[in-house]
Chains A and B, each alone.
Chain A
Amino acid sequence: MSKVLEIDIERKDMNLNGARLHILGDIRFTVQAGEFVALLGPSGCGKTTILRLVLGLDDDYRGEIRLGNSAITGPGLDRGIVFQETRLIPWMTVRENIEFAVPEKGDRESARKHVDTLLSITGLKGFEKAWPKQLSGGMAQRVALARALVNVPDLLLLDEPFSALDSHTRMTMQEELLRVFEREGTTTLMVTHDVDEAVFLSDKIIVLTRQPGRIHSTFPVNLDKPRKRTDPAFVELRTAVLEAFYG
């Protein structure tokens, strides 16, 4: 089920209006099976680029990314992704959006049952027939999470999934994500710029620098889950990460 993710990026360049930009350099880390790792960095540090490489949407880089025993060469259903902007398909209902992720050839009946389970885990029961336009930001992101999990991926990728939500909804969603994560036990790599979120959710925090993106420091988070944001140990770690983050 869950697999180890090994990232070994030597260098990643990108063309921007004719100029060759050095985006990422020397990014090496491992996400253990069932581990939750947060990549923390300022905007423009190449966080999302790392996710695109892991997704297999871009193979123009030096280095290698391995999931389990195989190198990643292209997109695949062994990886599920929640994008920053929900990217729900507007003309599909909630259920259709989730089922869209299921391969056409396959056991539709058991897929349908699994969708039902996910709908109740993510608190979407009763919203199956709603259109994306009728959903709040939080609800829409739940659908995106269900869509990412429907194929029982070996790796879950989260690209600033809650950054567009108000702070209250964001905290609720973080708690729910934690619940889903503990239930499914999927190896998870999350990209965020929210220190609080990283400390609340992850087992390990990797702080990146900008231009080119490099690993600045790594913080293991050895606090019991669910964590209390007011716990002194929580606050202490958040302060340490913040200091690394802002230099």
Chain B
Amino acid sequence: MAAAIDQTRRGWSKVRYSPSTVLQVLAAPVLLLLCWELAVRLDFLPQTLIASPSQVAATLLSSTFALGLFTHISVSLLRLLAGFMIGTLLGVTFGTIVGLSRVGARLFEPTILSLIPIPPIAWIPLLIILLGIGDESKVALISVGSFSILFIHTSYGIRATDKNLVEVANVLGKSNMSKLRRILLPSALPGMLSSLRVAMAMSWTLLIASEVIASSKGLGWLIWSARNFSRPDEMIAGMVVVGILGKTTDWLLVLAERYLTRWRATYSDIADV
């Protein structure tokens, strides 16, 4: 039994730090940074346009930059999370309705599926006309992106539920609500959770794109204005911050995914390559 419990935890707290593992993980990034630093120092890359890693690090640690950075981060994160959550909530809701019922599918699916192929970026002009260049248009844009992804994966996940398990619930006289909560949604959950990661990555893209196009605050604006003011160190520092934040949100979703799908029997239980 102890072994059985261990196996559940394995995927989710499997951390091993042997020297060769560390080396394998660090080799590529260290080499990349080294080449970049040398390229700038030896003038292969013009210093007026590109900053070296050490310059970027110095900028990141300087108090003036860090102070302004805080405002930009909070503005951007609020837009990101608001848009991501609204889009996810609506996507899951409509995905569930469409996945559950034929009437729901006839009512909503053709319309939604015709709108989804429009790349979210193409919505930017319309959203700016409708909602202005403030937070609202950016939140709306991010919602559009998250909605499409969650809608598709929720409706598909519910439809793909094993019919034998639904039959078990029928035999046990379960209510429709109970069937949805205990069978259909959990069955769709793995797909929904991995699509959350895709939606989050898409949200970052749309956030930065919309802030670059029209904004006076936020990380996208920071990167774009640094370029306009010929501050390559700040430009790259902004990119680094976006990268770190993006990695963090992804990592949080990975943790949630591993915990919530720990019941699954998958290749990752045995993979060790």
Contact = CB atoms under 8 A, between A and B. Distances in A.
Given A85-B164, A134-B8, A101 B1 contact: no
Interface string B1-30: 100110110000000000000000000000
Interface range on chain B (Cβ under 8 Å from partner) = 20 to 34
A100 interface: yes
Interface string B244-273: 000000000000000000111100000000
B164 A77 contact: no
A81 B171 contact: yes
Interface stretch (B89-97, B150-158, B178-186): B178-186
A165 interface: no
A103 B173 contact: yes
B172 A87 contact: no
B131 interface: no
B171 A55 contact: yes
Contacts of A92: 182, 263
A55 B168 CA distance: 11
A83 B170 CA distance: 14
Contacts of B8: 131, 134
A132 B167 CA distance: 18
A76 B178 contact: no
A57 B171 contact: yes
A104 B263 contact: no
B183 A89 contact: yes
Interface residues of A, number: 26
A100 B172 contact: yes
A127 B265 contact: no
Contacts of B7: 134
A233 interface: no
A246 interface: no
A92 B263 CA distance: 8
Interface of A: 55, 57, 75-77, 79, 81, 83, 85, 87, 89-92, 100-101, 103-104, 126-127, 129-134
Given A57-B171, A75-B171, A77-B172, 18 more contacts: A57-B170, A75-B173, A77-B173, A83-B168, A87-B164, A87-B167, A87-B168, A89-B165, A90-B265, A91-B186, A91-B189, A92-B182, A103-B173, A126-B1, A127-B1, A129-B5, A134-B4, A134-B8
Interface of B: 1, 4-5, 7-8, 164-165, 167-168, 170-173, 175, 178, 182-183, 186-187, 189, 262-265
